[in-house]
Amino acid sequence: MNAKSRWLRRFRRAGPAQLDTGRGDLVVVASSFDDAEACSAVLGRAENWTADQPAVLRHHLRVPAEQRNAVQIIAEREGYETLSQADAEMLILQRVRVIDAMHCAQDHARMVALAHRHDGVALGWDALQPPGEKK
């Protein structure tokens, strides 16, 4: 393995810094519960969002209780974890990533399709980051 290959492997593995989803100081920096609104518009007006920092991207789904486990299994394969909810049909899936309009839109479209295939609906999404990290 040459030096360039080693450097590329190390770079790919590094990725963005992780963010603890359980942090108590996370605040919603962007959200949309309107399918007609583009992610680029939402992120464009987000005043406290820091584009180059990781965020907890959450998707809010409503799926029948009997479909919940199937949705969770598929989402876990894509790196999502379930945020527990008291409502048996409400499901919040979350993962940490540096978001931009394109990836946010792709993730949202994926969640819309996943919910639809399991007789549910994607209600919307939000992104959380710690306050005061805007550069």
Mapped onto helix, strand or coil, the DSSP state of residue 134 is: coil
Residue 87: inside a domain: yes
Residue 90: inside a domain: yes
Residue 41: inside a domain: yes
Give the CATH number for residue 41.
3.30.70.970
Residue 7: inside a domain: no
> What is the rounded CA–CA span in Å between residue 48 and residue 63?
31
* Total domains in the fold of the chain: 1
Dump pLDDT digits (tens) for 120-129.
Answer: 999 999 999 9
Residue 37: inside a domain: yes
Residue 118: inside a domain: yes
Residue 134: inside a domain: no
Domain span holding position 29: 16-129
pTM: 0.82
Dump pLDDT digits (tens) for 37-53.
Answer: 999 999 999 988 999 99
**Burial group, residue 30, by CB count within 10 angstroms (0-12, 13-18, 19+):** buried
Beta bridge partners of 27: 129
Q: What was the pLDDT predicted at 17? A: 53
